Structure 1
Amino acid sequence: MSNPVCVNVRVPATTANIGPGFDCLGAALTLYNQFQFTALPGSRADSLPSLAIEVEGTEADRVGRDRRNLAYKAFCYFFEHAKQPIPNLHLKISLGVPLARGLGSSATAIVGGLVAANALAENPLSQAQILDLAIALEGHPDNVAPALLGGCQLAVFDRPTSAWTLCPVQWAANVVPVVAIPDFELSTEAARAVLPQQSSYADAIFNMAHLGLLMKGLETGRGEWIRVALQDRLHQPFRTALISGFSEVQNAAMDAGAQGLVISGAGPTLLALCTPEVAPAVAAQIQAAWGHQGITARVATLQLDLKGAIAQPVSA
């Protein structure tokens, strides 16, 4: 490689689970991290490539600038999979997705690194193959699938072929996501540690029925279906105790007209679904309810991102 080659990748935040869709359902939101990968001349197969990372945006001081950086690890994983030398690299990260809040920040890094590597390698892998690598790195598909593909995605594993089937879920225009991001964190590890090792048939059937109803509720925008469908027995009953003020915020959102309020991913961000008419009131009441608990929260009314990860080459 004689000249620098550069690609910008924009990756959306995601909200996973959406109530009953534990570890299989997620949606991309209009909140983004951006990554600029510049491959530099002089890469060698017999030595460690050089690396420089700069980070800007809120919480930039918390993002690693060495080879443990997750976007860089995903970038290297691609080249190792493709059996190609890892190029020398300058990586610039612009943060818009908060860290450790249940909005898929790690998924943006994984998808960003893989998509950029594929672009710099002249696209040897299909989108489906990139998704397989992303799931292998993340461990489950609910965040990386919508981060890569956009929209709302249901991911199903086919055991006989060991392959993932992705089913796009229609999302009506009158279903508005409102996210409430508190000023405290909750690690995915802590949120998973409180889950039971086994569930009853009754709870499994409960979630299957509610997930089916949620698919139709999101497709049609029928608020009464969404309200019922957002109930869950597999993860939220065990995680709400880890989120201060959850009940108060949930009650405030419902009183303001929300169709439901659930934990976004592992939390602590909360996701309310509502109509456009009541979205401002829902956002205001959520913020006020957490404020009464002494918790500062950033509340944003967003939209569904339909494009997923976008890579744009940059002229040298």
Structure 2
Amino acid sequence: MVRVRARSYCSSANLGSGFDVVAVALDAYYDEVEVEVVRGGSGSVVLESVGGVFAELVDRDINTSVAAAKELLKFVGVDNVDVSIRLWKGIPPSAGLGGSGASAVATIKAVMTALDLELSHNEIIEIAGRAEAVVAGEPHYDNVSASLLGGLVFVLSSNPVNVIRFNVYANFVVATPMVRMPPNKTAIMRSVLPKQVELKEVVRNYGRLVALVAGLLSGNFKIAGYGMEDYIVEPARAAYIPCYESVKKSALDSGAYGLAISGAGPSLLALCEDEDIARRVLKAIEDSYRRHGVEALVKIAHTGPATEVLTLD
């Protein structure tokens, strides 16, 4: 029997104009997964326990940790090991912070380590994306890429999976209204998106995406904040995000360069020049939620690290 523990950090996808292709790891929250792998078994994969700050919000029946372990074993053609999983949930579930992706990636890294497997980053991302389908309805590669690699990631292609990473340091404020979301939230939030978009609107969004990428890579966060304004996805989703307009105005008025829905929400992500401004933005966002009677977790965050293996017994 081999026991391995791994940690993966939360992430924010899209950053406004980068729908499905841009994501950033964040150090605000993390999940940890401990696996026990026994060779010569029947191929069973079980979720033994769930602990952590947000354990009570985890769906034990539909869980990406179990799906990730099964997808990995299927991918490498191993069917004679038993895997027992203990999940420590530190990322708010269904919050738009890549919690399901982080759990999947941590599980894959832990099982890989236990079995002494070597896979490319793109292969791991593909497996984790398939595991995400159990909660999202279809594979997604942006959040799992950020949680696996850390830093800023761009999904260049989903078939085949091709992701690149950049080492970018930035200051953010992450705001998560504590509201109960439906289990199929991601699918619902995709269903409200427009099926057709006028070419002029696509071109308009391209300009914002160019600004987002150029600003983040050059360290010009004012330009990056300009690039966080989206004309296609966010307008369709804004009505479903608690206090979206109020919080956005408060954040921008207090010095944030940009604010966007994090993934499918309901969390919001604000980009700031430095820590001092981030503290000012945090207070403004807290006040905004408070005025509307909405309980929210609001934290300063920075670009997060890659998934790491913590222990090996």
Q: TM-score, normalised by structure 1?
A: 0.89
1:101 match: secondary structure: coil
Q: Which residue of 1 aligns with 2:298?
A: 299
Offset of residue 42 of structure 1: 5.3
Contact 1:218 1:226 in 2 (8 A): yes
286-295 or 109-118, which deviates more: 109-118
Contact 1:15 1:143 in 2 (8 A): yes
1:143 match: secondary structure: helix
Q: Which residue of 1 aligns with 2:224?
A: 226
Contact 2:14 2:263 in 1 (8 A): yes
Matched, 1:183 2:182: no
- Check 1:206–1:86 CA distance in 2 against 1; reply closer, same or farther (3 A cut): farther
Matched, 1:17 2:30: no
Q: Which residue of 1 aligns with 2:285?
A: 286
Residue-pair matches, total? 302
Determine which structure has the larger helix proportion and give its number: 2
Within a 5 Å distance, the mapping from 1:52-91 to structure 2 comes to 53-65=48-60, 68-91=62-85
- Check 1:244–1:82 CA distance in 2 against 1; reply closer, same or farther (3 A cut): same
> For 2:75 and 2:167, how far apart are their aligned partners in 1?
33
> For 1:250 and 1:33, how far apart are their aligned partners in 2?
28
Q: Which residue of 2 aligns with 1:26?
A: 23
Corresponding letter in the other structure for 1:248: S
Matched, 1:257 2:269: no
- Check 1:111–1:255 CA distance in 2 against 1; reply closer, same or farther (3 A cut): same
Corresponding letter in the other structure for 1:147: S
Contact 2:46 2:83 in 1 (8 A): yes
Runs of 4+ in 1 over 4 A off after TM superposition: none
> For 2:42 and 2:261, how far apart are their aligned partners in 1?
46
Unaligned runs of 5+ in 1: none
1:98-152 CA distances to partner (integer Å, 9 max, x unpaired)? 0000000110122122222222221142222212222333312111111111111
Matched, 1:147 2:156: no
> For 1:170 and 1:80, how far apart are their aligned partners in 2?
32
Contact 2:47 2:66 in 1 (8 A): no
114-123 or 74-83, which deviates more: 114-123
> For 2:39 and 2:141, how far apart are their aligned partners in 1?
35
> For 1:268 and 1:114, how far apart are their aligned partners in 2?
27
Offset of residue 18 of structure 1: 0.3
Matched, 1:101 2:101: no
* The structure with more radius of gyration: 1
Q: Which residue of 2 aligns with 1:192?
A: 190
Contact 1:27 1:151 in 2 (8 A): yes
Q: TM-score, normalised by structure 2?
A: 0.90
Contact 2:152 2:166 in 1 (8 A): yes
Contact 2:16 2:261 in 1 (8 A): yes
> For 1:7 and 1:310, how far apart are their aligned partners in 2?
11
> For 2:103 and 2:14, how far apart are their aligned partners in 1?
20
Offset of residue 64 of structure 1: 4.2
**Superposed CA RMSD:** 1.9
- Check 1:65–1:167 CA distance in 2 against 1; reply closer, same or farther (3 A cut): closer
182-191 or 100-109, which deviates more: 182-191
> For 1:119 and 1:194, how far apart are their aligned partners in 2?
40
